[in-house]
Copies of this chain bind each other. A is one copy, B any other.
């Protein structure tokens, strides 16, 4: 019984990878680089995007993944960035992650010819989003310092799958019983190669480095940025 279930899941992941490759081909055709941005609920993905967008010299679009509603998309629309909403609640109670086919269904709505960089804001969840590629070039996650220092150990697949780990809400550190060194030690244990940025969307600390990283991912020639 359990064996059967696992096999079904593996088939589903195979199909997902096939569609993710097709998405990637389409993104490549338009010269669009894609970031899959993940986190637990309320870690600050949208707040960080609100702070750093728009980027100088890089045309950014956002694909917002949510179970339902368009609260984050509405917030980002104020930043004069093209935002497309993708809801996962068709079917039963709502999917807890984006998969490649959901992103594929949104491709016709995306202004691919007019952007250099697409940020896909995934559903807030530290488990399943890490299991489904959607056609991204790079994966980034936001980890709020308020979640505690043990999260890399409890959700290792997520932390391991990301090229960048943004540790957010650093301004709250003096008010928490959280050991930042221990958090970074735990991150090193599961993903020593990950780039990490210590930031606060509230105070602006570290946001220049986050902007630089985003610009770098876009791969736009420096001349075009001037």
Contact = CB atoms under 8 A, between A and B. Distances in A.
Contacts of A172: 146, 172, 175-176
A143 to B, nearest CB: 9
Interface stretch (A29-37, A51-59, A64-72, A107-115): A64-72
Given A40-B42, A147-B41, A153 B93 contact: no
A6 B66 CA distance: 18
Interface in A144-162: 144, 146-148, 150-151, 153-157
A196 to B, nearest CB: 17
Contacts of A147: 41-42
A184 interface: no
Interface residues of A, number: 47
A78 interface: no
A69 B171 CA distance: 29
B169 A146 contact: yes
B5 A94 contact: no
Contact of A96 (B90, B92, B127, B177): B127
A176 B41 CA distance: 16
Contact of A151 (B42, B91, B94, B177): B42
Interface string A117-153: 0000001111110110000000000001011101101
Contact of A202 (B6, B92, B126, B177): B177
Q: Which of A9, A130, A150, A177 has the most CB of B within 10 A?
A: A150
Contacts of A177: 202
B146 A42 contact: yes
B125 A93 contact: no
A10 interface: yes
A49 to B, nearest CB: 14
Given A40-B41, A41-B147, A127 B93 contact: yes
Given A144-B146, A175-B175, 15 more contacts: A6-B91, A40-B40, A42-B146, A66-B154, A67-B127, A67-B157, A69-B153, A71-B150, A93-B130, A93-B157, A94-B127, A95-B127, A96-B96, A125-B126, A172-B176
